[in-house]
A and B are shown apart, each in its own frame.
Chain A
């Protein structure tokens, strides 16, 4: 028993500073805007995504030319993944978004979006670096298609 406890403690020590519970629990991160504007557009999109009943957690990052919306779907509604994605995409397009819109229900994309937001808040990244990382996340999302 002691050995197991020690192993778990050691493994927990290996975890990065980001909270691993982001995958399992509701994180509800604030929307991030990296385009220098303060029009609250990212926040509006987050509210719109949150208004969909089947979605319970959303992370929105608005870059210079790209907009990333990562979301988590309630477990039993995961059978309707494609419909939910279509609906969300349509709602965002209707909000007159001019950027390249990327929506994803992938946990990894959500996790990376939260990590980016946390790094921004901690001051580890400049706006340019953050935009670059956003592009990398979007590239990662497209990789799986």
Chain B
């Protein structure tokens, strides 16, 4: 059987992806994470000496730390299964990517396992984030 024919045949029996349902789930969960982030930033503004301009750093740090903790407890993984991109796209998804890779490879040792694989998923985010920030800063300083 040709691969094209096999694909056609297989697609008949594949369960249909609930795209609309997944989008709704991602929208609500992602929105909920953003509401939590907003509440955290208001908390820092209200109780500490952070302005709207400077509150971004502690808020992002807190959200990443929270998602790391929840990943360790196994809560964020379940949330990820339910919401998909809704939980992966916000900054909390970054924390989840780091810790889940570390947990997965802990049996291979602390240095080569955890250390070597911790940034396997999140490494590309850091690399392209730093690189694009460098390019933007370069453009801003030239013009």
Binding site for B on A (CB under 8 A): 16, 20, 23, 106-109, 111, 140-141, 143-145
Contacts and interface: CB of A to CB of B under 8 A. Distances in A.
Given A143-B54, A144-B54, A23 B45 contact: yes
Kindly name the residue among A23, A107, A111, A140 whose own CB sees the greatest number of chain B CB atoms within 10 A: A107
Interface in B55-97: 55
Given A143-B54, A144-B54, A111 B49 contact: no
22 contacts: A23-B42, A23-B45, A106-B51, A106-B52, A106-B53, A107-B42, A107-B52, A108-B45, A108-B49, A108-B51, A108-B52, A109-B51, A111-B45, A140-B51, A141-B51, A143-B51, A143-B54, A144-B51, A144-B52, A144-B53, A144-B54, A145-B53
Q: Describe B's contact surface by its main secondary structure.
A: loop
Contacts of B49: 108, 140
Contacts of B46: 20, 23, 111
Contacts, number: 30
> What are the nearest 3 A-B pairs in CB distance?
A144-B53, A108-B51, A106-B52
Contacts of B54: 143-144
Nearest to A22: B46
Nearest to B41: A107
Contacts of A20: 46
B54 to A, nearest CB: 6
Contacts of B53: 106, 144-145
